[in-house]
Amino acid sequence: MKYTNCCPKCQHSEIAIIEGGTFKGNTYNSITMTLKVIYLTRYVCTKCGYCENYVEDQDDLESIKRKFTRNDFPDEYV
């Protein structure tokens, strides 16, 4: 949906993009980390209402990877 700009459910091509964050008026769509909150960007099909959420920031993705996936890289924990 993010890359195709097309709804995977109904094939509609008008997708609304709603950025997360307090200043964007979208505080609740978030992942709470130890030291910060990661806000998700939501992609909404304007026809059927299907939603997808994305973490847009690569650093945030790294943080999530370290916190929520199995620890394959113990050396990164310093």
- Give me the least distance between CB of 6 and Zn ion, in Å please: 9
| Nearer to Zn ion among residue 39 and residue 43 (C-beta) | 43
| Nearer to Zn ion among residue 11 and residue 27 (C-beta) | 11
Kindly list the residues in this chain that would bind Zn ion in the complex (CB under 5 A). 7, 9-10, 12, 45, 47-48, 50
69 alpha carbon, distance to own chain's centre: 16
- Give me the least distance between CB of 56 and Zn ion, in Å please: 21
| Nearer to Zn ion among residue 16 and residue 61 (C-beta) | 16
- Give me the least distance between CB of 21 and Zn ion, in Å please: 25
- Got the DSSP string for the chain? -TTT-S-TTT----EEEE--BGGGTB-SSEEE-SS-EEEPEEEEETTT--EEEE---HHHHHHHHHHHS--S-GGG--
